[in-house]
Amino acid sequence: MGDIGQTEGYPSAGRIPGHVAIIMDGNGRWASQRGLPRTEGHNAGAESVRAIVRTARRIGVKFLTLFAFSDQNWDRPNQEVGALMELLYRYVLGEYDEILQNNIRLTAAGNLDRLPGVVQQALQELIRRSRKNEQMTLCLALSYGGHADLVAGARRVAEDVQSGRLLLADINAEAFESRLLTAELPPVDLLIRTSGEQRLSDFLPWHLAYAELVFASVMWPEFREPQFYEAIETYQARERRYGKTSEQLPSENPRGAQLRAVK
């Protein structure tokens, strides 16, 4: 990886993305490459989740959204879906203390009703107990699909117009956004996908509208602190113009300034 130049080895002096979203991909391939069953890849991937949550919190990320299970993943073989649900259950129970002690607020987005009852209960309990925590919000995208998210938003808009709570003239981006399943999430600053795949797979279509996309070639179980720093360094070297020209941007924010500042 590149030299981030910090004595502690992390990019604290740069512009830290407020909302990082990660498509954690490649667990199955990681396992196959080692002659292991796919579920071993998911187990190893859970270790990466722990490492990245810890690091994100430490460097000051305020929102971390992890794509843990998609709407489409329900179509995998029953045995793999079952193993993933069991892993999720163990993760929630196993991280209970760490999340509470580290002042992390847990949330979840997706069609949670499809999750097994015990998983829903454990998840809701930790969501409830951590709801006042302020250091970082960890959002697990579970049974999540972007189209379903947008359709749910459209349905709520229609219901509110029908019942008179919302005027047709008042439908705008904010009104729509506030009715999404993911209403509480801010726009994504940095989207990371591991395993070399370069697609979004129906993840956060609304919030990714202006995200910086970083694709890492390593499989998710190999994505740890150094790879995370490297992704953030890549992000820091990007110039986010939002439709404007370079010259229009504040002078303290020219291309790569933050990166040079920490080198």
Candidate segments 21-29, 44-52, 157-165, 230-238, binder of Mg ion by CB under 5 A: 21-29
Do residues 100 and 174 lie in contact, with contact meaning Cβ atoms separated by under 8 Å? no
State yes or no: residue 26 binds ligand IPE (CB under 6 A): yes
Interface with ligand IPE includes 73 (CB under 6 A)?
yes
Quick one: angle between helices 117-129 and 78-101, nearest 10?
Answer: 20
Edge to edge, what strands does the sheet with 136-144 contain?
Answer: 104-109, 136-144, 63-70, 19-23, 190-193, 212-215
Please report, as a single letter, which amino acid is at residue 149: D
Binding window for ligand IPE (CB under 6 A); candidates: 147-155, 195-203, 238-246, 247-255? 195-203
71 binds Mg ion (CB under 5 A): no
State the residue number with the nearest CB to ligand IPE. Answer: 28
Alpha-helical regions (H) of the chain: 27-33, 38-59, 78-101, 117-129, 146-162, 173-177, 225-236, 257-262
Of 4-12, 19-27, 50-58, 99-107, the segment contacting ligand IPE by CB under 6 A is 19-27
Q: How far is the CB of 23 from ligand IPE (least distance, A)?
A: 5
Both tokens assigned to 51: 């490492």
73 is catalytic: yes
Class of residue 117 by CB neighbours under 10 A (exposed 0-12, middle 13-18, buried 19+) = exposed
Q: Does 188 contact ligand IPE by CB under 6 A?
A: no
What mask of x and - would describe binding to ligand IPE in positions 207 to 246, judged by CB under 6 A?
A: -------------x--------------------------
Backbone angles phi, psi at 45, to 5 degrees: -65, -30
118, 82 contact by CB (below 8 A): no
- Does position 91 interact with ligand IPE (CB under 6 A)? The reply is no
What is the x/- site pattern for ligand IPE, positions 138-177, by CB under 6 A? ----------------------------------------
How far apart are alpha carbons 92 and 116 in whole angstroms? 13
Three-state SS at 38: helix
Annotate each residue in 24-43 with x if it binds Mg ion (CB under 5 A) or - if it does not, as one string: -x------------------
Binding interface with ligand IPE (CB under 6 A):
23-29, 67-70, 73, 84, 195, 197, 199, 201, 220
Please give the positions annotated as active site.
Answer: 25, 73
Binding interface with Mg ion (CB under 5 A):
25
